[in-house]
Each structure stands twice: as C-alpha cells, then as structure tokens.
Amino acid sequence: MTQIKNICCIGAGYVGGPTMAVIAQKAPGIKVTVVDINEKRIAAWNDADLSKLPVYEPGLDAVVGEARGRNLFFSTQVDEAIAEADMIFISVNTPTKTYGIGKGMAADLKWIELCARQIARVSTTDKIVVEKSTLPVRTAEALKSILENTGNGVKFQILSNPEFLAEGTAVEDLHAPDRVLIGGDPDTEEGKAAIQALVDVYAHWVPQENILTTNVWSSELSKLTANAFLAQRVSSINALSELCEKTGADVNEVAKAIGQDSRIGPKFLKASVGFGGSCFQKDILNLVYIAQSFGLKEVADYWEQVIIMNDHQKRRFAENIVRTLYNTVSGKKIAMLGWAFKKDTNDTRESAAIYVADYLLNERAEVVVYDPKVSKEQILADLDYLGTRSEAENRDLITVVNSAYEATEEAHAVAVMTEWDEFVALDWDQIYNAMLKPAFLFDGRRLLDKEALKAKGFEFYAIGS
Ligand code: NAD
Ligand code: UDX
C-alpha cells in the first residue's frame, strides 16, 4: 500500500491553488507544496493579507488561512518540491495553440512537456504523476514516454485526475464534488496501487461512491466531453433566445418548462450574452481537432457548431446595441457593467465582455467599464491581447471606473455583461436620472426585472424576450 505523505503541485493557478488548498485543509497529515515559475503569483499566495490572494473565490481565503504554513506551502523552488514529493500533480495551463500544426484548435502541450522533462530530470525516487490539467485523450502516453526515457531509472505511474470545479464556486465544488474521476492502469499491481493512493487522498472527505475510477483514456476523454456537453446546453438555449426574441416567447419561461422535465434537468439553461471562461471554447476546439485528426468530419462539425453559435450570440448582442442606438454609437458613452466571464470570479479569460467591447470600440463608442473584481490593467491587457488596435488606442478609447454609478453617469446606454449580485441591488432610479435620454439598458444576463425597469423609464432589451 502506498501512503502519500508529500504532494507537489506544479502550477499555482485557478485550479492548482484552490484544489491543493482544499486537499491540505482536509488531509492535514499530507504536506502539500504548490510551485510555480511565476514569482508574483507565488508571492500573492503567500501574502499575509488573505484578500490579496491571486485567485478570488468565495471561501478560499478561509481555507488558505487554515492550512497555509501548517501543511500547505507556496513556493518557486520547483526542483526541490518535485524531488521530495511522492505524488506530483501537473496543473499548468494548456491553452489553444497559437502557432504551427493545429493552430487555433489543438491544445498547446508545451508546458506539460516541460513539466514532464523537469520531473524526469529531478526525480531520484519513484513518483506518481497526476494529470490535473485538461488534456487531449492519450496525453498520458506521451508523458510516460518522456518520463521513462529521460529519467534516472526511477519508476513513474501516471494517473489522470481531471478537475471539474467551476470558477466562482470552486471551494464549494471541491468540498462536495459530484464526483472525483481517477484514471489509471488497472491491469498492473503498480497501476492499481497508484489509483488507490489517490483514492485515499480524496477519501479524507469525499464519499467512496463519489470517487470513480476508470482507465486513463476514459478519464482524459470524459473531461473534454463534460465541458462540451455543458457548453452545448448554453449554446442550445442561446440559439433559442434569438428565436424567442422573434416570436414573443420568453426564453426563461421556455427554459423552465423544458428544465422541469427530469430527463432534461434545469441546470445550464440560462440564456446569456455567450459563454466565456478559459475552458469551454478551448476544450471544444480541442475535441473538434481530435475528431478531425481521426477523420471524423461529422463529429467535428457537430461540436464546432457550439462555438459558432456562441460567437454569433456575442456578436448579435453588440450589433443590437448599435442598431438600437439609431445605427451609430460613434462618440456615445456606453457603460459596461461587468467584465469577468461570470460572477464571483476575477477571471476574464474569453469573457464575452471583451468581444462586445471590441466590437463597440470598432464602432467608435466611448466604452466605460466597471467590474467589482477586475482591475484596469487586466481589462486593458484583455483588449491588447486581441490585437485589434494599438495599445495606445485602447487606452484612449476605454475608461475603467470604480463604481457602477460613475460608469453610467451621462451614458447613452448601459450593458449588463456579468451577473454580479451588486448590479441587482443598484439604485436604478439614480442611474436613470443620471443617464442621457432615452436611457437604453441591455441586459446580457437576464439579471434585472424588465417590467420594473421599464416602469422607471428605461428602454429595456434583454436576451431572449
Ligand atoms: P492558470 O493559467 O491559472 O495556471 C497555470 C499556472 O501554471 C500558471 O501560474 C503558470 O505560471 C504555471 N506554470 C506553467 N508552466 C509551468 C512550469 N513549467 N513550472 C511551474 N509552473 C508552471 O491555469 P488554470 O486555470 O489553473 O488551468 C490549469 C489547467 O486546469 C488547464 O489545463 C485547464 O484547462 C484546467 N482546468 C481549468 C479550470 C478552470 O476553471 N480554470 C477548471 C478545470 C480544469
Ligand atoms: C466550466 C465547467 O462548468 C467546469 O466543470 C469545468 O471544470 C471548467 O469549465 P467555468 O468555466 O468556471 O466551469 O464556469 P461555468 O459555470 O461552467 O460557466 C461557463 C460560462 O458559461 C460562463 O460564462 C457562464 O456565464 C456561462 N453560462 C453558464 C451561461 O451562459 N448559462 C448557463 O446556464 C451556465
């Protein structure tokens, strides 16, 4: 029986940080060291002020506060942490490739391979290596090949343990996961022992029936599939939101009516300005690429449609703003409330707000943004990354302010981009009075009470009604 005493996690990001914090919290007998090459990020994880952690997640400060310094450590000493660990999680980024073969579709596994080579170089004792990052099916084969051929004769077992947490509810999801998935090699004694060792780590707090074990390939593919299914539901309801707008049906009522069918279920049927986040688009593109590489054209086309629909939804929201404002937003002040890709996170990766802002800036609008958790630097970096215009132009055209009231003052229109609770509680009379008239309000999240806001005088447009 292998009992894990020392865990190293490479990658202190949105997944590595919270996941390891919860393992350390729930298994105080295991030393957990989270390492990263990003010194600023590690310094933030070590900040005495827990409100400065690099990842904002409700409840995370308390978890880190409980375990940090006891059995949870954040460090830039990658080699040392690898050397002393029995189990190494790889939780580094796997973004869509931006160059070469598979550009714009395949996952870039550069950082994964670098980790594997580093583990192989540093290790002098046997290790269990766990894929925590989301990876294309059969990546474990490549990892095995690197570890076994460049190592020091050390034995490695490779497990797949994809993470299903959603941002904004990461701590909740980690404390009570619907399931933990562990893929390994059930055909050898060493493989079985490695699977059991990881099961035992989670068994500190996850009921046995929620811990699923499979072969490695099923585990790797299940992660991509889960995200594809979830995103597909959002694109399906968003496709119907457009039809609702044409027919007088209301997408919330349709979602409720179909979601009450226990075979369909009520979750992930909220129409929106389009899904964002670092995972959905990247993982579906990866799935499409894998299907294409096996020559499965119809399979690839089927899943690609989920992305096509999502791009359409973001674009048509922006187009509707321009069309409604008498076909021009040039020189008009548009207040965007929210920049994060969903509420309760400071993450902005692939947020619909970025694309809507870019569209409005192309139409020469003066865009003013307020988000309770996203910094001005991040908003500018997101726009710069698109490369649509120069950094100087972005800084000229967009303003970031510290409150919703400041953003909406003398605005021609307000666009709700993220469903932050505080937007519901705003004094909408005050906002109405301070805006130019007609006061246009575009709700990209179905967050606000349409009838109440219309009664206050707003020209109100909501997705799907
Ligand atoms: P992230 O970009 O927030 O964090 C990755 C970290 O890895 C970065 O801080 C980076 O500096 C570090 N890193 C990269 N190469 C390194 C190396 N060689 N040595 C040390 N550190 C290195 O990414 P994330 O959002 O945490 O995602 C990580 C993985 O988890 C991805 O594969 C993602 O698809 C998957 N995932 C993400 C989520 C999510 O909600 N964000 C959920 C489930 C799965
Ligand atoms: C997702 C998966 O849910 C999670 O299991 C996986 O580990 C990582 O990817 P995340 O991207 O953090 O998590 O958030 P999620 O709640 O799935 O939302 C993704 C996007 O879809 C957000 O922009 C959200 O606003 C949008 N969404 C979600 C909708 O527009 N409507 C819905 O009904 C649900």
The mean per-residue pLDDT over the stretch 297-305 comes to 98
Sign of CA dihedral 259, 448, 397, 381: negative
pLDDT for position 85: 98
* Average pLDDT score, the chain: 97
**Does residue 125 surpass a pLDDT of 80?**
yes
Provide ipTM, 2 decimals: 0.98
pLDDT for position 445: 98
Q: Are strands 72-75 and 31-35 parallel, antiparallel or unpaired?
A: parallel
Distance 142 CA to ligand 1 centre (A): 19
* Pick from 40-44, 146-150, 231-235, 334-338: least confident: 146-150
Distance 277 CA to ligand 2 centre (A): 7
- Ligand 1: does its nearest atom lie under 6 Å from the Cβ of 14? yes
Q: What is the pLDDT of residues 175-206, one digit of tens each?
A: 999 999 999 999 999 999 999 999 999 999 99
| Ligand nearest to the backbone CA of 162 | 1
The mean per-residue pLDDT over the stretch 363-371 comes to 97
**Does residue 222 surpass a pLDDT of 70?**
yes
- Between CA 418 and CA 372 the distance in angstroms is 10
**CA triple 134-135-141, angle to 5 deg:** 140
331 is in an annotated binding site: no
Distance 216 CA to ligand 1 centre (A): 20
- pLDDT band for position 2 (50/70/90)? confident
Q: Are strands 459-462 and 398-400 parallel, antiparallel or unpaired?
A: unpaired
Domains and CATH numbers, the chain: 6-206 (3.40.50.720), 280-462 (3.40.50.720)
DSSP of 189-202: HHHHHHHHHHHHHH
The mean per-residue pLDDT over the stretch 46-59 comes to 96
The mean per-residue pLDDT over the stretch 420-424 comes to 98
> Which tokens sit at 274?
């389009």
Q: HSE-up of 155 (CA within 13 Å, CB side)?
A: 4
Short-list 234, 220, 235, CA closest to 290? 220
> Which tokens sit at 378?
């991040």
- For a pLDDT cut of 70, what percent of the chain falls above it? 99
Residue 438, preceding bond cis, omega within 30 degrees?
yes
464 is in an annotated binding site: no
State the chain's maximal CA–CA distance in angstroms. Answer: 74
pLDDT for position 459: 98
- Between CA 143 and CA 357 the distance in angstroms is 40
pLDDT for position 152: 77
pLDDT for position 1: 67
Tell me which amino acid residue 39 is.
Answer: E
Ligand 1 atom closest to the CA of 283, numbered from 1: 34
| Ligand nearest to the backbone CA of 117 | 1
The mean per-residue pLDDT over the stretch 255-262 comes to 98
**Does residue 308 surpass a pLDDT of 80?**
yes
Q: What is the pTM of this model?
A: 0.95
279 is catalytic: yes
pLDDT for position 128: 98
pLDDT for position 59: 97
Environment class of 444 (CB within 10 Å of its CB; exposed 0-12, middle 13-18, buried 19+): buried
Q: What is the pLDDT of residues 227-246, one digit of tens each?
A: 999 999 999 999 999 999 99
**Does residue 151 surpass a pLDDT of 80?**
no
The mean per-residue pLDDT over the stretch 408-437 comes to 98
Short-list 174, 239, 139, 259, CA closest to 463? 239
144 is in an annotated binding site: no
